């Protein structure tokens, strides 16, 4: 695996120097300050590449921008309203500009309204570490009593509604405010910060977009962008829903292996691939991550390796982001499937035999606590995760008689 690291740009408290000391081989980033639906210009792309290429003291870092995460797909494209056609053209132009700059892998998602959802961004573990958590009762309290979404009562069983009402009644006002901010935090580093009014307006815009409609719109998008990526020799990799079940009455179309297989088949080109995120997909007990890697590995263009621990086995359910080798996903088995896929690619002579991977999220530990930065992206917690994942891969490669 190619060991990469997500960076949110010059304002990120985790620096290029920190990445080098962690042993990172490449950088994953995006132009978060560029408004969604507009073109990423060659000048903006070059400025980010230049920032990555330099350490604090002006020395060359030796690192390069290797994966884009994310090139956003606008809500207009997902709903096919307003200037959606112009937004698709801007996306394609951005892709061409990235290709001209030597970048060939683009991660994106097709989640309506929110790119990820958590109720706690710094949930305390028994050892004092902090992590992100999705608490289903807290989420129901938000949906029913803070957002007050019409129709929300139909989405929660009576037992959960009662628990949410009690939870909300016991919440101090500060916690209610924090819960709302946590839920709508969206993609870390995103330029947009959504208010309750924004969320309600966005939800209203999705009223006519059923599950089937969103799938059709996704296929329309892929039919326009994937052939261009194929001609350019680029790899597109869609990120799964996070968490992988419906929320806020919105459709979800990238939550299961069947969803992934359907998107791949919709435009059956090698460029049309997936981001296998073990943390997002692991929040469902029916997602077999090692099996998905074995069966869909041919189209896995990017890996997010992290782990979660669910409170139970219902869908949906509460979960928290565990240590990389903790949680309920068998990370050793998953990496073994990755090593096997890379061996197959080498044997076939593929130029993408080494799959880029980043240690996704991480618990805040040691000096991470109180340091600030993007939720889920501490320096030391991710370094610990990367070291563990690197050790697993090295051991498995040696057992198989190869090299990591």
Tens place of pLDDT per residue across the chain (404 aa): 999 999 999 999 999 999 999 999 999 999 999 999 999 999 999 999 999 999 999 999 999 999 999 999 999 999 999 999 999 999 999 999 999 999 999 999 999 988 899 999 999 999 999 999 999 999 999 999 999 999 999 999 999 999 999 999 999 999 999 999 999 886 433 445 667 888 888 899 999 999 999 999 999 999 999 999 999 999 999 999 999 999 999 999 999 999 999 999 999 999 999 999 999 999 999 999 999 999 999 999 999 999 999 999 999 999 999 999 999 999 999 999 999 999 999 999 999 999 999 999 999 999 999 888 899 999 999 999 999 999 999 999 888 775 55
Catalytic site residue 301?
no
Long-range contacts of the stretch 45-51 (C-beta < 8 A, 24+) = 45/97, 45/98, 45/101, 45/103, 46/101, 48/9, 49/101, 51/9, 51/10, 51/16
Cα-based torsion angle of the residue sequence 275, 44, 96, 214 in order, rounded to the nearest 10 degrees: 50
Q: Is 362 helix (H, G, I), strand (E, B) or coil?
A: coil
Pairing of strands 130-134, 120-124: antiparallel
Give the per-residue pLDDT at 398.
86
**What pLDDT score was predicted for residue 403?**
56
Active site residue 99: no
Strands (E), 141-252: 235-238
- Residue 351 CB burial class (10 angstroms; 0-12, 13-18, ≥19): exposed
Q: Nearest CA to 87 among 46, 9, 43, 34?
A: 34
Note the pLDDT of residue 397. Answer: 86
Please indicate whether residue 361 is annotated as part of the active site: yes
Is residue 144 within 8 Å of residue 153, measured between CB atoms? yes
pLDDT at position 10 is 94
360 part of the active site: yes
Of 259, 336, 360, 364, the active-site residue reads 360
Catalytic hit among 239, 241, 324, 368: 239
Strands (E), 76-173: 105-108, 120-124, 130-134
Q: Say whether pTM exceeds 0.75.
A: yes
Q: Which of 87, 217, 301, 304 is catalytic?
A: 304
| Catalytic choice (241, 277, 301, 368) | 277
What pLDDT is stored for residue 234 in this prediction?
A: 98
377 noted as active-site residue: yes
Q: Is 87 a catalytic residue?
A: no
Gyration radius of the chain over CA positions? 20
Burial of 122 (0-12, 13-18, 19+ CB in 10 A): middle
């Amino acid at each position: 695996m190619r060991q990469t690291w997500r960076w949110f740009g010059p304002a990120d408290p985790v620096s290029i120097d920190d990445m080098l000391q962690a042993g990172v081989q490449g950088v994953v980033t995006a132009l978060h300050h560029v408004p969604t639906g507009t073109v990423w210009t060659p000048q903006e792309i070059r400025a980010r590449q230049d920032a990555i290429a330099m350490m604090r003291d002006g020395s060359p870092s030796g690192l390069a921008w290797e994966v884009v995460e994310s090139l956003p797909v606008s809500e207009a494209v997902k709903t096919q309203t307003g200037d959606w056609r112009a937004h698709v053209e801007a996306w394609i132009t951005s892709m061409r500009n990235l290709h001209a700059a030597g970048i060939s892998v683009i991660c994106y998602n097709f989640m309506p309204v929110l790119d990820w959802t958590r109720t706690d961004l710094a949930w305390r573990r028994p050892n004092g570490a902090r992590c992100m958590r999705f608490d289903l009762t807290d989420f129901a309290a938000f949906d029913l009593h803070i957002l007050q979404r019409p129709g929300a009562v139909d989405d929660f069983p009576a037992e959960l509604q009662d628990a949410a009402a009690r939870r909300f009644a016991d919440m101090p006002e500060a916690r209610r405010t924090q819960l709302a901010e946590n839920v709508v935090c969206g993609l870390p580093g995103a330029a947009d910060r959504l208010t309750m009014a924004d969320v309600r307006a966005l939800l209203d815009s999705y009223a006519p977009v059923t599950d089937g409609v969103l799938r059709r719109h996704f296929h329309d998008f892929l039919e326009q962008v994937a052939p261009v990526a194929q001609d350019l020799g680029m790899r597109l990799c869609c990120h799964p829903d996070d968490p992988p079940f419906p929320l806020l009455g919105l459709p979800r179309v990238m939550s299961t292996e069947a969803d992934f297989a359907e998107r791949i088949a919709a435009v059956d080109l090698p460029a049309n691939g997936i981001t296998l995120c073990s943390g997002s997909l692991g929040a469902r007990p029916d997602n077999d991550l090692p099996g998905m890697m074995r069966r869909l590995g041919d189209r896995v263009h990017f890996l997010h390796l992290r782990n979660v621990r669910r409170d139970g086995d219902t869908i949906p359910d509460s979960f928290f982001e565990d240590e990389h080798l903790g949680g309920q996903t068998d990370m050793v088995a998953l990496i073994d499937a990755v090593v096997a896929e890379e061996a197959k690619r080498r044997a076939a002579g593929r130029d993408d035999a080494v799959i880029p991977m980043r240690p996704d999220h991480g618990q805040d530990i040691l000096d991470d606590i109180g340091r600030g930065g993007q939720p889920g992206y501490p320096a030391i917690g991710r370094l610990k995760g990367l070291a563990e994942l690197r050790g697993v891969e090295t051991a498995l490669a040696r057992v198989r008689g190869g090299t990591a």
